[in-house]
Every structure is written in C-alpha cells, then in structure tokens.
Amino acid sequence: MSDSKPISEVAIIGAGPIGIELAAALKRAGVSTLHFDTQQIGYTLSWWPRQTYFFSTTERIEIVGIPMPSMHQQRVTGEEYLAYLRGIVEALDLQINTYESVMGITRLDSSFELVTQSRAGERRYQARRVVFAIGDMHAPNLLHIPGEDLPHVTHYFDEPHAYFRKKLFIVGGRNSAVEAALRCWRAGADVTLSYRRAEFDPKSVKHFILPDLLAQIELGTITFLPETTPLEITPTQVILQRVDGSRFEQSADFVLLLTGFLGDMTLFERAGVTLEGESRAPVFDPHTMQTNIPGLYVAGTAAGGERKARYSYFIENCHVHVGRIVQHITGKWPEKLGTIPSRQYELPLEDIRAN
C-alpha cells in the first residue's frame, strides 16, 4: 500500500521528551508538523528498570512550560514521567504516528520525501524540513565475547526480584550498573560487580547512590572486582582478566552486562549527514541545530552520535535545541521551554530565521 500526503512544514522523527517538546512548540507557533516514532512515545523510558528515579530534579525534565506535580516533591520515576508525557500529548492534542518507522529520506527541490513503514504498509510524505530527535539508546554496547548470548545473560536490567538468593554477576561502573548492584543486593542477591577501571567516576554515577555503593563494598556485602575485564561467559562462570594479564573465574547464576548503549545513525547516513569522530556524531550548527544538509536538523541526545566515551546530552540541557530550531524556522524564540524561564536558554543572536 502506498499513498501521498500534502507537504508539511516540519517532520519530526522521534517522540521522546525533546521530540514532544519540539512538536508542542511548533504547534503553538502555528507550524504544521508530521511526527513519527518507530515505537510508542517515550519508548526508551518504558524499558528502564522499574521504579528507577531520574538523576535530574523535576523542574529540569519538565517540558513546554507544563509543571509535573509530585506527591513527594522529589525526583520522579520513569513510570511517573511516562504518565506525564502521555498527559502532555493528550492535553495539547499532539498528533504522533507511533509504530510507524521512517525508512528513508530523500532531498527534493524544496522539500524532503519520507518513506515510512507500518503494519498498514508503506507510506510517503513530504515536509520542507526534517528534525531527527531519535535519541541515542537503540542497542546495547556488546562486549563481543563468547557466551554473551547465553539465556542467563542480558544487557537489560528489569527488576531485582528475579535474582533473589542467586549469584548475580554485573559488569559496568556507571549509573545503571551501580544502581542495579544496590537494588539486587537489597532484594537478596549475592552480587559481584566487575569494572574495568580502578575507581568509579563521580561524574558518571548519581551522587546520591555512590556513597551507598562504596559503603557496601567496604562492608563486603557487595563484592567489587576493579580493573577486571570479562573474557568469556559459561553457563556457570565468568572468566575474567586482570590488568596484569592473569585470569580467574567467578561463579554466576545470572549475568547483567550493563555496559551502555549505542545510537543508530542509519537515518543520518541515508540522508547524507556528515558524521565525525569516533563517536560518529552528526555535524551541525550549534546556533541553529541544522546539519550539513540544509533543512535537516538534530535535536536531543542524538546530537552526541553513536558511541560516547562520556554522555553529555540529557533532557535538561537539550531544551535549548528546541528553542534554536524553532527560532531558526519561525524567527521567534518559543515562549515556553521546560518550566525554567525560557530566556535563560536563548542565544544573543541576530535574526537567524531560515530562508
């Protein structure tokens, strides 16, 4: 099945928080949009471990000027934030084509053609501008070691109950690994944590959980194996290597490989966007968020590229991306971004409205 649609002003790909904030800001500015997501809105948040709290406080992850009420006035969980996003989409009546994947983008004379795929078949749309707000967590960062695909091994931590009274081996040293280690230990697991570095980086671990982990390591309730690298996983053990090259074995009933995630830059490549460096980050003008392809923009964490040595983009520092894109398209900075006064994000620029 194939059909054509009228030309819209902007097509947004990705319906995470920043994609939704951009859609709302453009709607308020009277700009016609198309909006797509391969999954449901806020999909990445939907597979967070249950009852995981944001690092950021609520006022920094609120969008489009709409406050997020909280009974406890503290950081919110992923489940609470998804409910907040659903409420915004409902309240502002944002039209988002979920479960419709953009498969290709072609530059025409004065617009882009987007080819999408859903259960209804193939469709084609046209938009004068396109924004990639696709996020940066599409697939796990694989270790490429034997046994990584065994049934008791996973890259996704769901909830701690499954590991009660079992030997759980966790690989990683950032937020996800540290938090999983603490939660699973408190749920009755025998936890061993392996990290390739000698110490945890305070910039990579939530400040309110790192002291807890260090205390448990000191007490011996959580076993910590610093400067170790897994070489192979068997049904009952993990084979590791120390920095001096020596090897040893550690028993494990379950293995959590919490080694981060990779972005998917396929659409950027298909559209002709230049990717730079080891991170394969898209080239863009930081004043407008426009890539090297005129009319094609990037917003949100996708600006960091495929592979990050350190994460630098989060919801709280990507509101400005929305402002820059809206200003470039309409010539006017949006009145509301997040719930922090919008003007703090605005750049002291001349009129940078797109031609």
Q: Tell me the chain's radius of gyration from C-alpha atoms.
A: 22
Q: 97: which strand partners?
A: 36
Q: What is the CATH number of domain 142-257?
A: 3.50.50.60
DSSP 93-113: T---EET-EEEEEEE-SSSEE
* Token pair recorded at residue 298: 């990037």
| pLDDT tens per residue across span 283-297 | 999 999 999 999 999
| pLDDT tens per residue across span 71-93 | 777 888 889 999 999 999 999 99
Using 50, 70 and 90 to split pLDDT, how confident is the model at 55?
confident
| pLDDT tens per residue across span 251-310 | 999 999 999 999 999 999 999 999 999 899 999 999 999 999 999 999 999 999 998 766
CA distance 259 to 192: 15
Question: Which residues of the chain does CATH 3.50.50.60 include?
Answer: 7-138+261-344, 142-257
Using 50, 70 and 90 to split pLDDT, how confident is the model at 145?
very high
DSSP, res 6: P
Residue 249: count other Cβ atoms within 10 Å of its Cβ: 12
Residue 343, CA distances (Å) to 219, 224, 300, 324 in order: 48, 46, 19, 12
Q: Give the homologous superfamily in CATH for domain 7-138+261-344.
A: FAD/NAD(P)-binding domain (3.50.50.60)
* Cα 206 to the center of its chain, rounded Å: 17
Q: Which residue has the tokens 């053990």?
A: 237
Q: Which of 84, 100, 115 is nearest to 35 (CA)?
A: 100
* Cα 170 to the center of its chain, rounded Å: 21
Q: What mean pLDDT is predicted for residues 125-152?
A: 96
Q: Is the dihedral of CA 211, 216, 222, 227 positive or negative?
A: positive
